[in-house]
Structure 1
Amino acid sequence: MHRPLLILATGMFAIGTDSFVIAGILPDAAHTLDIPTSTAGWLLTAYALTYALLGPVTAALTTRWPRRTLFLTGYALFTTGNLLTAYVPHFTTALAARALAGLGGAMITPAAVAAAATLAPPERRGRAIATVMTGLSAATALGAPLGTALAGLTDDWRTTMLFVSALGLLAATGTALFLPTLPTPPTVPLRTRLTPLTDHRIGLTLLTTLLAYTGLYTVYSFIAPSLDRATGNSTTTLAALLFTWGLAATAGTLASGRLTDRYGSRRVINTALTLAALDFALLPWTTAHLPTTLAALLVWGACGWGLLAPQTHRLITTLPAAAPLLTGLASATVYIGVALAPVVGQAGLTWLGPHRLGPLGAALITLALIAAEAAHTAIRRTESATQ
């Protein structure tokens, strides 16, 4: 089981690097494209929104595709989109290129998470999901800061996009050579895929994810101006901070799988959300100095990424028969939050300034905690009624 999971995690590493590296090079991209930094935030939104909206659609259209064919097609679109982003001269065409890359991600991520859940027995499902999700968090630890550092060393943010393209090619090669044959899931119409949304337990769980990741990425979308007091506008220092944040994210992801298997999803979810909300509420003060910024990012990374595995586990254990559908909806919901975050962040920049985005994110994360408890109550109520 371990080798297929590692191959899937490698693909998630490429997808995750593309998702997170843009935030670190946003000011440089804005300067090159001759647009304000707040407007450049739409480069994140174009990728994330395309992924979120087309994820369920592509999953329905490609159900009968062999899994290897699905993954390789997704990587082809992903890599092409990033190559175009590196070379197009105008903002509007860059947005279209980012959307194409997002379409590739929409094909890959839900299938990878569903495959992980299928490969593992129930008692190890949390760890299997966490292993694949570690590819995403490792991207924050290695891919995103390395991409940011490359932009600083070459004084050209487009080098970063070429780096992401190379990661896509590497993941595609590994998939073609080493991924074993995986069972093809049964055909499921798009309407059926969206049916779980009518279940209030699922709806509340997805609402938790939406609120949490909108809050978390409201700050991350504008991470460079938010941390400029600590970094002194040094791209190298920012890359080092992102590396530390990513290490914490990787540790949080791995630990959350084991903690979920041992203690259940509720404790892990509530603890992660509570600590993240407190951490974000204090960001206006902690990000004023480098040592406290480092501490804040450690908590942020571990708690923010420690939420993914227990949330996915909660969905799958609530409706086990719909696991492949739910993993797709879960991934789409994360990216809807990531897509909304720059929009919320743009408003926050105007009203509050870059150093006050933390409390705005904390408010959304607190609402996520309320939604999580509502989801838990609904799940328990349904269980009691069926006994």
Structure 2
Amino acid sequence: MRLRLILLALGTFAVGTDGMVIAGILGLVAHDLEVSVAAAGQMITVFALSYAVLAPVLATLTAKWPRRRTLLIALTVFTLANALSALAPTFGALLLTRVLAAVGAALYTPTASAAATALVPPERRGRAIATVMGGMTVATALGVPLGTWIGRSDWRLTMWLVTVLGAAAFAGLALLLRDLPAPAPAVSLRTRLAPLTNRDVLGGTATTFLVLLAFQTVFIYFTVAAAPATGGDQSRLTLLLLVSGIFSVAGSNLGGRLVDKGGPRGVMLVGGTVQAAVSFALPWLMQSMTTALIASVLNPLAGWAVAIALPARLVSIDPPNAPLLLSLNSTALYLGIAAAGVTGSAAIATLGDRWFPFASTALTLLSLGVGYATTRDRHPRPAKATKSPQAAGERVS
């Protein structure tokens, strides 16, 4: 069981590295292809927006496919797209390859997450999601700083690294992954989107959107925010990304355990509060490497705990329809990332390079308000004698 979850995480490691490493090479891409840094940031917007739109559509079109086949096709498309990104002669061509990479990612990640929740009993769903999402966090710990360092002189080397990671994930799944649960019966796109009429589901997806919008508003332009601390030194930037990645892994593991123990609501509210405080302090924390390192510990530790609570919350609303709900969560997540590319650029233009993290603070506070308003207990608490971690995890929507 554990091996199958780790194999699924191999793919999310490749996808996560591709999605997040761009933040570390924006300046190099902008210089090489003769566009502004803000324009280069739209690489992330195009990828994320394409993912958000395509995820429910692709999930519907491939609903009858065996999950192993779906995962392998997704990684094939993803790997070829990144090879084309490495070869792109113009910025326009590069944006087109990012759309193709999003096709592979949009097909892979929800399928992997749904497979993970089907492989374990209900009381271990939080940890199963954390394991697969752990591929994303390990990507921030290893893939992003490694890709940033490799691409310090040529960003195309970074894209070749992602290509190799995609190929390695494909090989691991093709050789070792067997016996995945059969997919649920196929449903129409209208049925797939129908849960959005449920207030709990709508609140959950809205919270996911706002949390990712807030976080990525700063992360996409991390190079800009960290410039006072790094002085433009790519090695210092790599160190900050490495520390951030290590504590992303810790936050993911912590979030999975806390969700299984007490449910997603407390994790979302406490973690979100820490994120709001850190983003408010960033203009001062990023003035030196010492304080920038402190921010690189606290923000991902809280942020990735929240990232695990968000899909766990949706799954707890209607466990039999986990694939549907996780697909919607992925769509909301990548819509948030797509919007953050524009929001971050606008915040920099309005507030300046130092103060633009205040936009993230405001958005985080908004996400806390929505999360709090839509996750109140609606049923009487069971007697103490019947309480269990599983019951606590499923009592709150």
Distance between the aligned counterparts of 2:350 and 2:143, measured in 1? 32
Matched, 1:380 2:381: no
Partner of 1:236: 235
Partner of 1:368: 367
Matched, 1:150 2:154: no
Change (3 A) 1:382 1:103: farther
Distance between the aligned counterparts of 1:366 and 1:316, measured in 2? 24
Residues 263-302 of structure 1 mapped to structure 2, 5 A cutoff: 263-302=262-301
Change (3 A) 1:28 1:364: same
Partner of 1:168: 166
Partner of 2:47: 47
Q: For 2:222, give the aligned amino acid.
A: I
Distance between the aligned counterparts of 2:332 and 2:282, measured in 1? 25
Deviates more, 1:177-186 or 1:276-285: 177-186
Partner of 2:219: 220
Partner of 2:342: 343
Partner of 2:72: 72
**What stretches of structure 1 of length at least 5 have no aligned partner?**
none
Aligned residue for 1:282, secondary structure, equals helix
Describe the superposition over 1:325-366 as per-residue Cα deviations: whole angstroms up to 9, x where unpaired. 001111121111111111001101111112212111011011
Q: For 1:245, give the aligned amino acid.
A: S
Aligned residue for 1:254, secondary structure, equals helix
Q: Give 1:98 shift.
A: 0.4
Q: Give 1:99 shift.
A: 0.5
Aligned residue for 2:356, secondary structure, equals helix
Distance between the aligned counterparts of 1:119 and 1:354, measured in 2? 46
CA contact (8 A) 1:67 1:181 kept: no
Deviates more, 1:17-26 or 1:328-337: 328-337
Q: Give 1:321 shift.
A: 2.4
Distance between the aligned counterparts of 2:10 and 2:289, measured in 1? 32
Q: For 1:253, give the aligned amino acid.
A: S
Distance between the aligned counterparts of 2:354 and 2:164, measured in 1? 34
CA contact (8 A) 1:210 1:336 kept: yes
Q: Give 1:381 shift.
A: 6.5
Residues 93-242 of structure 1 mapped to structure 2, 5 A cutoff: 93-152=93-152, 155-182=153-180, 183-242=182-241
Partner of 2:393: none
Distance between the aligned counterparts of 1:376 and 1:383, measured in 2? 14
Distance between the aligned counterparts of 1:382 and 1:7, measured in 2? 40
Distance between the aligned counterparts of 2:321 and 2:48, measured in 1? 24
Aligned residue for 2:287, secondary structure, equals coil
Matched, 1:28 2:31: no
Q: For 1:165, give the aligned amino acid.
A: T
Change (3 A) 1:362 1:101: same
Deviates more, 1:15-24 or 1:325-334: 325-334
Q: For 2:114, give the aligned amino acid.
A: A
Aligned residue for 1:233, secondary structure, equals coil
Partner of 2:251: 252
Distance between the aligned counterparts of 2:380 and 2:70, measured in 1? 36
Q: Give 1:184 shift.
A: 2.5
Q: Give 1:266 shift.
A: 1.0
Aligned residue for 1:267, secondary structure, equals helix
Q: Give 1:22 shift.
A: 0.3
Distance between the aligned counterparts of 1:281 and 1:225, measured in 2? 16
Distance between the aligned counterparts of 1:181 and 1:123, measured in 2? 21
Aligned residue for 2:186, secondary structure, equals coil
Runs of 4+ aligned residues of structure 1 deviating over 6 Å after TM superposition are 381-384
Matched, 1:56 2:56: yes
Distance between the aligned counterparts of 2:313 and 2:75, measured in 1? 29
Distance between the aligned counterparts of 1:60 and 1:340, measured in 2? 24
Partner of 1:19: 19
Q: Give 1:304 shift.
A: 1.1
Q: For 2:265, give the aligned amino acid.
A: R
Deviates more, 1:322-331 or 1:158-167: 322-331
Distance between the aligned counterparts of 1:129 and 1:28, measured in 2? 34
Aligned residue for 2:151, secondary structure, equals helix
Q: Give 1:319 shift.
A: 1.5
Distance between the aligned counterparts of 1:304 and 1:354, measured in 2? 22
Q: Give 1:383 shift.
A: 10
Deviates more, 1:12-21 or 1:198-207: 198-207
Q: Give 1:312 shift.
A: 1.2
Distance between the aligned counterparts of 1:247 and 1:374, measured in 2? 32
CA contact (8 A) 1:75 1:172 kept: yes
Q: For 1:158, give the aligned amino acid.
A: R
Distance between the aligned counterparts of 1:106 and 1:381, measured in 2? 35
CA contact (8 A) 1:110 1:328 kept: yes
Distance between the aligned counterparts of 1:3 and 1:274, measured in 2? 35
Q: Give 1:185 shift.
A: 2.3
Q: For 1:43, give the aligned amino acid.
A: M
**What stretches of structure 2 of length at least 5 have no aligned partner?**
383-397
Change (3 A) 1:107 1:382: farther
The percentage of aligned residue pairs carrying the same residue is 42
CA contact (8 A) 1:222 1:354 kept: no
